[in-house]
């Protein structure tokens, strides 16, 4: 028996690389949710370096956020379709599922990080009267 096989058998990493990526994306999303307002408060000045930093940060934060939003929209589309089928073609009921999942923010911009625009994961209907006020 080779000594290296014994050493490798005792020191194997228990997670696959895809599991590590999933955990990383989850931690990144949670950090976005908890630190977004702190970033906006600290970066109120308007100089080119901070603008470039906000652009880079918004691009990096968009990747996991957009993936989660697209997944949510896809699931909302499927569940809304089943809702439409199960209610006998009632479009109003299905829209209560479709609209929050389809509408909303898909891309994080520097204005979102500055606090000038809200990030809306759950969208609001553009046809709703209260949304326009």
pLDDT truncated to tens, each residue of the chain (133 aa)?
555 555 455 545 554 556 667 766 776 666 666 555 555 555 555 677 778 888 899 999 999 999 999 999 999 999 999 999 999 999 999 999 999 999 999 999 999 888 889 988 888 877 666 544 5
**Token representation of residue 132:** 């326009």
What's the pTM value of the predicted model, to 2 decimals? Answer: 0.60
In the prediction, which pLDDT does 7 show? 47
Predicted local distance difference test score (pLDDT) of residue 123? 84
Nearest alpha carbon to residue 40 among 123, 95, 111 = 111
For residue 25, the model assigns a pLDDT of 72
For the chain, the farthest-separated pair of C-alpha atoms sits apart, in whole angstroms, at: 76
Q: What is the CA radius of gyration of the chain?
A: 21
CA distance 125 to 107: 18
Domain boundaries, position 96: 16-132
Residue with tokens 């009267």: 129
Does residue 56 lie within any of the structural domains? Answer: yes
- Identify the pLDDT of residue 88: 92
Residue identified by tokens 């690389």 is 17
Count: domains in the chain? 1
Alpha helices in 1-106 (DSSP H): 3-10, 17-42, 48-86, 91-102
Phi, psi of 102 (to 5 degrees): -80, -40
The reply to whether 122 falls in a domain is yes
* Rounded-to-integer distance, Cα 65 and Cα 119, Å: 10
Position 74 in a domain: yes
């Amino acid at each position: 028996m080779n000594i290296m096989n014994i050493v490798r058998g005792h020191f194997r990493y228990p997670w696959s690389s895809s599991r590590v990526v999933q955990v990383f994306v989850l931690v990144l999303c949670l950090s976005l949710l908890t630190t977004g307002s702190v970033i906006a408060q600290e970066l109120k000045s308007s100089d080119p370096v901070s603008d470039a930093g906000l652009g880079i940060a918004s691009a990096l934060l968009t990747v996991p956020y957009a993936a989660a939003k697209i997944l949510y929209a896809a699931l909302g589309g499927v569940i809304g379709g089943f809702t439409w089928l199960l209610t006998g073609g009632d479009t109003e009921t299905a829209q209560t599922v479709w609209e929050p999942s389809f509408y909303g923010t898909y891309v994080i911009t520097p204005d979102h990080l500055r606090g000038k625009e809200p990030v809306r994961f759950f969208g609001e209907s553009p046809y709703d009267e209260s949304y326009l006020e």
